[in-house]
């Protein structure tokens, strides 16, 4: 393998990881809401989601290096949509704005975990196959 081909492969791999990080960052963004729901004052920093999505990319690349970017998109969108709908319809946004509480932290963290579970379930290939066979028109 020539050096030019090797460099092109490494640049492609870097871009794949960078885009995957960007896509999974939307799945980790609700962590910033969880942190803001804490009942004690904490400086608002937006690095919580960035670090968590970097860890997520590391885990994904370790366990399944062939993970497609479409799966990352599905996880990000499904997590964000599920979390946002649960958060908005629960009415906890007012409690978070008023200073938070431990109950709000637990509920918001639970909403995020449910959102991640929905996103991962939708992105998993076996889940997709089961869904396609159950919806398939014969």
Q: Which residue shows structure tokens 């066979």?
A: 133
Rounded CA separation 13/16 (Å): 5
* pLDDT score of 138: 59
Rg of the chain's alpha carbons, rounded to an integer? 18
C-beta neighbour count of 119 within 10 angstroms: 26
pLDDT in tens, 26-81: 888 888 888 888 887 776 666 788 888 888 888 888 877 777 788 888 888 999 99
* pLDDT score of 121: 86
pLDDT in tens, 94-124: 877 777 778 888 998 999 999 988 888 888 7
pLDDT above 70 coverage of the chain, percent = 93
């Amino acid at each position: 393998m020539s050096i030019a081909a090797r460099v092109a492969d490494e640049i492609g791999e870097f871009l794949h990881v960078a885009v995957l990080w960007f896509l999974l960052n939307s799945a980790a963004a609700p962590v910033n809401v969880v942190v803001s729901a804490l009942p004690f004052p904490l400086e608002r920093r937006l690095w919580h989601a960035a670090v968590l999505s970097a860890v997520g990319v590391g885990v994904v690349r370790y366990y399944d290096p062939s993970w497609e970017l479409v799966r990352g998109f599905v996880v990000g969108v499904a997590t964000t949509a599920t979390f946002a709908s649960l958060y908005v319809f629960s009415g906890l946004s007012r409690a978070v704005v008023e200073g938070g509480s431990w109950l709000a932290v637990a509920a918001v963290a639970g909403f995020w975990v449910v959102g991640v579970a929905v996103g991962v379930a939708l992105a998993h290939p076996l889940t997709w196959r089961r869904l396609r066979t159950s919806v398939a028109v014969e």
